[in-house]
Structure 1
Amino acid sequence: MSAVPAEPVVPVASVVPTESAVPAKSTRHGKYTSIAQRTQALTLHAMGIKHSEIEAKTGVKKEAFKSLLRRAKDRGYIPGGPVKEEHVANAPKSGRPTVVTEPVA
């Protein structure tokens, strides 16, 4: 006879969070999307995926995606082509830059 374990072995399913599962940072005007989310949204669009599916997978809303696509095209993106970092990079922020000083000894 073979030995039977006292307790049944239960397989443990690992849950891997996706980009859309991570809450987006909120800004004054809306939600902040990461460079990875923007790149993924443009890639899915190039593959012919619908906007509703793109929003479900990446968290990028339809109006935000339209703005993203317009900005990416202005920066040299060709739909269906490769997505470069400069196409989805954050825009430079206005205002006075932070002054970094040496610590006084």
Structure 2
Amino acid sequence: MTCPSWCSTDHEDTEPLPDRTHLSFGNDVPLTLATPNVWHVDDRTIAEQPVLQVALTQHVREVEPRVDVGPDVIRADLPSLNLTLAETAALGRALLAEVERAGREGDVA
């Protein structure tokens, strides 16, 4: 099977069709305002700042990849999105517009 250049998975032609999905390594975005993930292991407490993971996925039957955005640990209070490329581009523009708006008002260094 031919993979897109961004695919991080080794595929075999013998894989069952439902398993033939291309996945990218993606990027992590730390969520500094979110409550940390906390685990209690033996006599220790481990706290980690949650991250949103942003990655491409594409099943072999899909025409184009989609962008999955979701927390590293499933939590009801953190978003999980499955976006088309067009939706992702629109969201990116909207987020940057808000950052620029805040910067014009002197709130962002």
**TM-score, normalised by the number of residues in structure 2:** 0.26
Name the structure, 1 or 2, with higher relative contact order (CA <8 Å, separation 6+).
1
Give the number of the structure whose alpha-carbon radius of gyration is greater.
Answer: 1
The answer to which structure has the higher strand fraction is 2
